[in-house]
Structure 1
Amino acid sequence: MTDIPQRNAHLLQTRWPLLFDRLQLENPESVPAQLVEGLGSTLSISGVQLTSRHDRSAEAQLQAATLPADAQHVHVYGTGLGDLQMQLLQRPALQRLTVHILNSAVFALVVQILDQSDWLKDPRVELVMAGDHAEICLPFFALPAELVLADDYNARIRDRLISEVHLAFNNREFTAQDPEIAQRLEQAVPLLQRDPDVAQLFGSQPGRDCFVIATGPSLEQHFAGLKRVREQAVRPFFICVDTAYRPLLAHGIVPDLVVSIDQRISERHLPAAGSEQVGLVYLPLLARTLLESWRGPRHVGYCASPVYAQLREQLPKASLYVGGSVIHPAVDLAVKMGAGRVTLFGADFAFPGDKTHAGWNDGDLGPQLQAAKHWVLDGHGQRVRTQLNFRSYLVELERFIAGHPQVPFFNTSRAGAMIAGTRFDPEWCQ
């Protein structure tokens, strides 16, 4: 018999009694773990190795090297087998190490079978549940295995970590040096010279309810209701994203404004016919032919991307917030127009009902359903399929909402992702 479980448990109960009580609720035997051997050994959970099976120490050294050597406070997301914690605790400059649990059951298993007392007893260590915090902390290292294995309670922080890790990669696509991008920007100059600044719309709808309509599958539940509201004499202001425009028209719903930012949007998504009374708010990467064919009023703006740095100096315009998806500037526009409340339609960030988008076939607007290898929690607390970039878009919308507490936000479906900071609108939620 070994006293490892008792030693670990004593430290946990002594130092973090409330956290210890929560870990006691976990069943380590339910974790599908296997011992995997190579030059060394590690644990594999559902086919995911917690660490290298050849040289755990060398791996931890590489991980530690990504963090500033002089950092006094460092955050580690995931507990692993304690190797990274031990590497970081050797640093003379380190005064505090916060370890964030991403999977309670996995950690409960590890402390049952492996001695973790060396780092658990270090007075510089603080042990917390990742999901107890609304945001991530910097500087951090997130253990790759536990980004995959994160449990439901800690999933929201997992999504923020992945969004942060992938930020530089996601931004790589759009640079002003790209020939296609440079050509689009050059072609946009004549339009930028004559189209009104989006700032002219700011403050134009003070206190008015605003519907922001995206293209998630749950939008299909609301076509009839949106048409009924649209026909009322006194009604909310309708803003839709570009890919929702055609499905809305097909159901007799004419929005007040369409927002578009993506250079891949074409006349297929934004047909000019019938657009006379519809405003278009755009960023300069849209095709000039599409813009010139639009019959309604146009307003142009920028976002914070360095792609627009030179244009911003030459032809100043206001900016809208873009966090990777067109829903972000649509919501930002609603707030800047003075919306008294914002109600979201089709903001699913997931594929409920095994469908990718409302009004479009599988794969029309991006990856097919079969490519959805990730998940988020829906409004019922159940896992629903999604893709990685959708989780990042969700994170950025939640951050935007948190930054605008003066505006109430409502969601109209429990089928899509749970959006922190929103309430479910009882009038629309089934």
Structure 2
Amino acid sequence: MSEFFERNAEVIQRRWPLLSARLLVEDASLLQADLVEGLGSTLSINGIQLTSRHDRTREAQLQAESLPVDSPVLHVYGTGLGDLQLELLQRSELIQLHVHILNGAVFALVLQLLDQQPWLSDSRVELHYAGDLVEICLPFFALPSELVLADDFNAKIRDRLISETHLTFNNREFDPQAPDIIERLQASQELVQTDRDVIELFGSRKGQEVFVIATGPSLEQHFETLRAIRNQAERPLFICVDTAYRPLLDHGVRPDVVVSIDQRISVCHLPSEGTADITLAYMPMVDPQVLAAWQGPRYASYSASPIYQQLRQQWPKGELYVGGSVIHPAVDLAVKMGAAQITLFGADFAFPNNKTHAGWNDGDLGPQLCAAKHWVLDGNGQRIKTQLNFRSYLCELERFIAGHPQVRFYNSSRAGAMIAGTAFHPELAS
């Protein structure tokens, strides 16, 4: 054990004894660590530089400048080499600095190699494992290197940090002044004005069970089961997202309600033939030709997005929650209809069995499998391929579930991403 580690560990043991015990069993020997030199030097872990190799101090200053100077409480995610912590602790206004560990083994290794006592000993510092909290804290700075290096235990918080960091970028395509958005909403006005209000569906299924069906690859495990349940006299309500509609029909499963919100949905996804007894709940960005062709009852709705502000004032309709994916309003509709229990199908947020979606070819509904550069943990605790926006959608669904404790949420499969707040269905999940 190094001299640095003994001194660093002594501080941690004195201040955070429970956390100290966890750090002592972290296995830093599994990491590939290298010294990287430039104008200065830094540590590279598994090919990822923890900091700049040229000027760590200036880098920390730039990172600190992104945080409000007058905030008495700040949060740093990732421990790095301690540079950002030392920079922030120079602020006289700072009362508390919460440092959240994103990779325990990386931190244990740094404790062996460098003196971290100056910031660990500061009474304003509180040290945590990021994964011990279910939600991120604001205001924060997340060290980019450790967002990449985050371990399994802290992965959920990593996903929330990345989602929050990318929020402004992700919302760029929903500019109310964008010509394509204005054109689509104008084209939909007449239908929105005359169609039913989704609020008419609210409260119509109080205390009942609802199946919410998405298009993840694990849906393929359940086609036969869904068909059998659909034919029962008493059964749950079937709500599906638009891209799941055709695969369900292809396997003899007719949903009761289809939810659609995306301007890219076409008649290829929502063919109108035989839809007289199927309800369509939609938002005005959906292609008006798709809407007009639908034979069954149509219910218009809005999200909280500013793109609907003008329509909302002219023709008020009920609101459904959207967190980036059609799965969110589908689940919200089930809750607002009064569901006491919701079982999710195909809500994978990942690519189990090296497939992107059930019933569609690779790339039909978005990026191809080869573009999957990220991971989440599946229902068995194993890493599984995904893409960045899927992780963001997962975060938002988990937040939604946490906000509705009165509803029991079940996941029908372990093959996709682990969804916090759900239990695996005792009969359906394999």
Superposed pair shares fold, TM > 0.5: yes
Query: Which position in structure 2 is the counterpart of 1:329?
Result: 329
Secondary structure of 1:173's partner? helix
Q: What's the counterpart of residue 73 of structure 1? A: 73
The 5-angstrom pairing of residues 152-191 of structure 1 reads 152-191=152-191
1:6 partnered with 2:6: yes
SS at match of 1:62: helix
Secondary structure of the residue that 2:342 maps to in structure 1? strand
What SS does structure 2 have at the residue aligned with 1:426?
coil
Is 2:390 the counterpart of 1:401?
A: no
Tell me the distance in 2 between the aligned counterparts of 1:240 and 1:294. Answer: 15
TM-score w.r.t. structure 2 length? Answer: 0.99
Instruction: Give the superposition deviation at 1:288.
Output: 0.9
Q: Distance in 1 between matches of 2:385 and 2:400?
A: 23
User: For structure 1, which segment, 210-219 or 304-313, has the greater mean C-alpha deviation from structure 2 after superposition?
Assistant: 304-313
Q: Aligned partners of 1:9, 1:99: CA distance in 2, in Å?
A: 16
The residue aligned with 2:281 is 281
Letter in 2 for 1:143: L
- In structure 2, the partner of 1:55 is 55
Aligned length: 430
Supply the distance in 2 between the matched residues of 1:152 and 1:340 (Cα, whole angstroms): 32
Amino acid corresponding to residue 348 of structure 1 in structure 2: D
Counterpart in the other structure of 2:423: 423
Distance in 2, matches of 1:2 and 1:143, equals 26
Q: Which residue of 1 aligns with 2:247?
A: 247
Residue 292 of structure 1: SS of its match in structure 2?
A: helix
SS in 2 for 1:57: helix
SS in 2 for 1:100: strand
1:12-411 equivalent positions in 2, closer than 5 A: 12-411=12-411
SS in 2 for 1:115: coil
1: CA distance, partners of 2:282 / 2:220:
25
Kindly provide the amino acid, as one letter, of the partner of residue 222 in structure 1: H
| Cα deviation digits, residues 123-149 of structure 1 (max 9, x gap) | 000000000001000000000000000
Pairwise CA distance, 1:3: 2.6
- 2:261 maps to a residue whose letter is I
SS of the aligned residue for 2:173 comes to coil
Look up the SS of the partner of 1:162 in the other structure. Answer: helix
SS of residue paired to 2:196: coil
Q: Distance in 2 between matches of 1:360 and 1:277?
A: 25
Report how far residue 286 of structure 1 moved: 0.7
CA distance in structure 2 between the aligned counterparts of 1:224 and 1:123, rounded to whole angstroms:
60
Question: Residue by residue, what CA displacement relative to the aligned partner does 1:101-127 show, whole Å, maximum 9, x if unpaired?
Answer: 000000000000001010000000000
> Separation in 1 of the partners of 2:3 and 2:373?
40
Q: Gaps (5+ residues) in structure 2?
A: none
Q: Give how far 1:2 is off.
A: 6.4
Aligned counterparts of 1:5 and 1:316: Cα–Cα separation in 2: 63
SS in 2 for 1:126: strand
Deviations 1:292-344 (A, max 9, x none): 00011100000010111111111111110000000000000000000120000
CA-atom RMSD, angstroms? 0.8
Distance 1:338 1:13 in 2: 50
The question of whether the paired residues in 1 share the 8 Å contact of 2:67 and 2:140 is answered with yes
What residue identity is the alignment partner of 2:179?
P
In structure 1, the residue corresponding to 2:57 is in which secondary structure?
Answer: helix
- The letter of the residue matching 1:263 is Q
Cα distance between partner residues in 2 of 1:29 and 1:357: 38
Q: Percent of aligned pairs with the same residue?
A: 69
In the TM superposition, what whole-angstrom CA distance separates every residue of 1:385-406 from its partner, at most 9, and x where no partner exists? Answer: 0000000000000000000000
Counterparts of 1:371 and 1:87 in 2: how far apart (Å)?
Answer: 38
| Residue 150 of structure 1: how far off its partner (Å) | 0.2
Moved more, 393-402 or 171-180: 171-180
Cα distance in 2 between the residues matched to 1:221 and 1:96:
50
Task: Report if aligned partners of 2:2, 2:112 keep a CA contact under 8 Å in 1.
Answer: no
- Equivalent position SS for 1:238: strand
Q: Distance in 1 between matches of 2:34 and 2:346?
A: 41
CA distance in 2, matches of 1:225, 1:237: 14
1:62-109 CA distance string (max 9 Å, x none): 000000001100000000000000000000100000000000000000
- Please list every run of at least 4 consecutive aligned residues from structure 1 whose deviation after the TM superposition is greater than 4 angstroms: none
Offset, 1:174: 1.2
1-structure distance, mates of 2:16, 2:157: 21
SS in 2 for 1:317: coil
Which one-letter code corresponds to 2:147 in the other structure?
Answer: L
What is the TM-score when the length of structure 1 is the normalising length? Answer: 0.99
- 5+ residue gaps, structure 1, are none
State the 1:366 CA deviation: 0.1
Give the deviation of 1:9 after TM superposition: 1.1
